[in-house]
Amino acid sequence: MRGKLITIEGCEGAGKSTQLALLRAFLSERGVDAVFTREPGGTSVSERIRGLILDAANREMTGRTELLLYAAARAQHIEELIEPALARGALVVCDRFSDSTLAYQGYARGMDLGLVRAADSMGTGGVLPDLTLFLDIEPKAAFLRKGGADSADRLENEGLAFHESVYRGYLEIARREPDRFVRVDAGPTEPERIFASILGVLKARGILL
């Protein structure tokens, strides 16, 4: 049986990596065939593209270039890693995916949403997440958690207003696609409690028994 693709989304510092570490430990204890990966990145070619995208020295990078680089990294990631893993029946868990492109390049950069979707679907080749977990916490609170932006990261260096637009973009996606894009309250609670709600969602969706 074909595997499932789960993606996790949220603003910088929302707790994605923390929750994925908990999920990885949980699944490995139960012997589930799971592949954990991230975007942009996940393969050697895609990680090199990630370097280009995030490098704070690349100040001249235009919105369209950024969009196409994300799509290129995603194409390689899908063909080389995600699609073969799904085909063998694995559970693939990806830290950020198409919704980040829609939220950052579409809603926050203000690029035409039709253009963003077209570029993204060239990248995905039509592969959609079966479920997306959106860690819902406002960017200000999330940044405080991680102790401020990483100055070497071009996207993290964008101001608070940009990240607030990203957040509003995510809320809009949640409004449009409530079945796939599930909000998980990631506010001021300990990681284990947030993880318990994630497990609840995965069980309710039949992804875990």
Residue (of 144, 28, 60) closest to 20 by Cα position: 28
* Contacting residue, 160, 191, 200, 203, with ligand ATP by CB under 6 A: 191
- DSSP-based three-state secondary structure for 62: coil
Residues 13-32 that bind Mg ion (CB under 5 A): 16-17
- Work out whether 179 is an interface residue with ligand ATP (CB under 6 A): no
Q: How far is the CB of 17 from Mg ion (least distance, A)?
A: 3
Q: Tell me: does residue 146 bind ligand ATP (CB under 6 A).
A: yes
Q: How far apart are CA 19 and CA 200, in angstroms?
A: 13
194 contributes a contact to ligand ATP by CB under 6 A:
yes
Query: What's the CA gap between 203 and 120, in Å, rounded?
Result: 29
Shortest Cβ 1–ligand ATP spacing (Å): 30
Tell me the closest approach of the beta carbon of residue 192 to ligand ATP, in angstroms.
8
DSSP 119-180: HHHHHHTT---SEEEEEE--HHHHHHHTTS--TTBTTTTS-HHHHHHHHHHHHHHHHH-TTT
CB nearer to Mg ion: give 21 or 118.
21
Asked if 197 touches ligand ATP (CB under 6 A), the answer is no
Q: Where on the chain is the footprint of Mg ion (CB under 5 A)?
A: 16-17
